[in-house]
Amino acid sequence: MSTGPTMARGTRRRHPRRGTAMILVMISVAVALVLTSSFLLEQTTATGQASNLERRTQARAVAESGLALALAYVEANPGWRGVARDGVWLDETPFGDGTFSVVGTDETDGDVRDGEEDPLTLVVTASVGDATEVVEAVLSPRASRRRVLLVVPNADWLGVNDERRRDQFERWGFDVTLINQRDPREAFRAAFDGVDAVYVPESVDSGSIGRKLRDAPVGVVLEENFLSDEMGLVHRGGSTYPWAYRIDVVDASHPITRDLGLGPATLVRRRTSFRYVNGVLTPAARILARRNGGGSVVLAVVESGGQLFGGDRAAGRRVLLPIGGGSFNWSLLRPDGLTLVEESLRWAADPPAPDLVARWPLDETSGKVAADAMGGLDGQYRNGVDVGLTGAFHRWPYIGLDGRNDDVAIPHGDGLMLDEGTIALWFRTDRPARQQGLFSKNAVRTGGVGDLALWVQSGRVQARLGSVGRTHLVAGGDIEAGVWHHVAFSFGPTGMRLVVDGKIVAQDGYAGGLGPSSGGPGNREPVAFGGLNWRRRSDAPSRVQTRLRGELSDVRVYDRAIALEEIARLIERPSYVVQWDEGL
């Protein structure tokens, strides 16, 4: 069982930038970091206990800022291995009210200058007064390699174009797995677990694939746009037009088209057949390019969670490419054409980063305000909540609730009326058998439609969502008395999922949320931490019941169902896992 939350940072270099001396880069980046962390470094308190907690908080901020500087240096300098050394990178460097040191170690052979595949460990030690904090990062150049499932007619005998696709994808740094178009749906679903995106070339038979890819929880890139109907992207499918070699980019703000720019883009060396949308695109589609000189859509994307024809939602990102007509030859692609395919794969393989709608660290040392770190939804500690507690729960402060009348009242904000999202928090109680509320946004005014509640009872965590005339419940986990547990409850197009201590303990197919997807007008009720708000007032929870006797920390609301890997980073010890692509 993990003992506390983590800060996680990921960087990935795509476009090499001109390198500069390490210390100069660190100084330039430090200006911004000092501004963002100064609120931590300048606080003072009146009591010895609060001062000690503050120094530890300051030391944590200095350590994390020092690590960010080291990561920024690696990010900004493609040739960093040529100037870095194994050992101390920076020693006792002043920062705010403290100092930090950076040590870089090649755990493989002790020499960071050789072996670009060797992982590097960065350890940052920071001190403020008598308080010391340590954070670390493990940099792995191959950890960020994306995995692509290439659908082919016959994996045992590849056609020339499919061989070229596979080889090109590998040159771009993707790990490629092949799957036969006629493999059963179960084989496709099993394969999805090991990849980040699926690529469907024009060489496949759309009839053999059918709906096998529709619910793929990873990105899907389609050359074969006759599958667009089966994927729910287009009503009445796509068509081919001959003798084309250009497209007109109409949206260059998207990652796929950013390097192409607005206007004509020449994709192939000589005229060949292209694909275009001959039907009606789903309203969730974003149009990136049209036929050169014509109005038909040739390049479009749908974000994860976008509405599909048929009533369901995209379980991953989707891309409709213009290339891939019946006479298409992969070797005809020009640099812009290759860029289009590469960026489509990269975008599809990178799930949208979960956006924090709100986060309440619950780390105040005094007062009655439960601050929202994202801004806008500050709450109130009510009836004597104990704040600024520290101890067994790693090093992070937390709050204590007495189980009688303590709770935290959070006002409603429209950003919380989510059709997809994740609620994540830490809690501890010495009475897990008794019903005790953790997080509650009960929709009393709408008769329970859009209602959401999390609580512990009978030694399990339970989660509830309400729809029209029905309550959807999931429950699981093994909650031990006096032990910290992490809970992440996700909801939305992919259904309800309850994760306790990093493991999925319960799921349900209900795809509604707090907004209109629940069948009602949306849940505009306030929120309560540490209880269930069965009754309501206009601006704060009222008549909160089944209160928690225990502790809470770090309550978060995301705007999508976050992946298990992301949840794992929330519950690991404080360290950073950093990834980058070497040589891109």
pLDDT band at 25 (very low <50, low <70, confident <90, very high): very low
Q: 102: Cβ–Cβ under 8 A, 6 or more apart, which residues?
A: 66, 67, 69, 70, 88, 89, 90, 93, 122, 123, 124
Given this model, what pLDDT does residue 326 score?
A: 66
114-118, 231-235, 318-322, 522-526 — which is least confidently predicted?
A: 114-118
pLDDT at residue 572 in the model: 67
DSSP labels for 139-188?
EETTTT--EEEEEES-TTS--HHHHHHHHHHHHTT-EEEEEETTS-HHHH
Residue for token digits 């500690």?
Answer: 381
For residues 356-395, b (16+ Cβ closer than 10 Å) or e, as one string? ebbbbbbbbbeeeebbbeeeebebbbbeebebbbbeebbb
| CA proximity to 402, closest of 370, 425, 429 | 429
pLDDT for 462: 97
Give the lowest-confidence range in 139-148, 439-448, 464-473, 494-503.
139-148
Q: Kindly give the pairing relationship between strand 407-410 and strand 527-529.
A: antiparallel
- For 534, the 3-state DSSP assignment is strand
Count of beta carbons in the 10 Å neighbourhood of residue 144: 18
46's tokens: 């009146």
Amino acid letter, residue 474: V
What is the residue extent of each domain of the chain?
22-142+575-579, 147-349, 356-562
Tokens representing 524? 């505009």
Q: Which amino acid makes up residue 167?
A: D
pLDDT at site 232:
86
Tell me the two tokens of residue 231: 């994927």
Give the model's confidence band at 241: pLDDT under 50 very low, under 70 low, under 90 confident, else very high: low
Work out the average pLDDT over 498-518: 91
Name which of 312, 302, 214 is nearest 512 in CA terms.
312
Q: What is the pLDDT of residues 321-365, one digit of tens each?
A: 998 766 778 999 999 999 999 999 999 998 665 577 888 989 888
527 three-state secondary structure: strand
pLDDT at 107 over 60: yes
Instruction: Please give the share of the chain, as a percent, with pLDDT higher than 70.
Output: 77
Neighbouring C-beta atoms of residue 420, cutoff 10 Å? 22
The residues near 466 (Cβ < 8 Å, ≥ 6 apart) are 443, 448, 449, 450, 451, 452, 472, 518
pLDDT of 108 above 70: no
Q: How many angstroms separate the CA atoms of 363 and 179, rounded?
A: 50
pLDDT tens track for 47-67: 444 566 667 778 877 887 788
Q: What is the pLDDT of residue 446?
A: 59
pLDDT at 127 over 60: yes
* Count of residues making up the chain: 584
Strand partners, 429: 550
Share of the chain above pLDDT 90, in %: 40
Q: 414 or 153: whose pLDDT is higher?
A: 153
More confident residue, 451 or 449: 451
pLDDT at 443 over 60: no
- pLDDT one-digit tens code per residue, 176-220: 999 999 999 999 999 998 899 999 998 998 889 989 999 898 999
Which structure tokens are listed for 350? 């990178």
pLDDT of 581: 38
Torsion angle of C-alpha atoms 175, 180, 186, 190, degrees rounded to 10 = -10
Q: What is the pLDDT of residue 304?
A: 80
> Which pLDDT score is estimated for 52?
61
Answer whether residue 13 shows pLDDT above 80: no
Rounded-to-5 percentages of helix, strand, coil across the chain: 20, 35, 45
Place of tokens 């001190």: 127
Question: Does 33 have pLDDT greater than 60?
Answer: no
356-562: which CATH architecture? Sandwich (2.60)
| Minimum mean pLDDT range among 5-9, 49-53, 136-140, 549-553 | 5-9
pLDDT of residue 47: 42
Given a contact cutoff of 8 angstroms between Cβ atoms, the answer to whether 104 and 84 are in contact is yes
Average predicted confidence (pLDDT) for the chain: 80
pLDDT band at 447 (very low <50, low <70, confident <90, very high): low
pLDDT in tens, 248-279: 999 988 889 988 999 999 999 988 888 888 78
373 phi/psi in degrees, rounded to 5: -65, -20
- What does the H/E/C string look like for 375-409? CCCCEEEECCCEEEECCCCCCCCEEEEECCCCEEE
Q: How many CB atoms lie within 10 A of CB 581?
A: 17
Q: Which residues contact 171 (CB under 8 A, 6 or more apart)?
A: none
Pull the structure tokens for residue 102: 């950076």
CATH for 147-349 is 3.40.50.880
| Lowest-pLDDT range of 79-88, 125-134, 464-473, 503-512 | 79-88
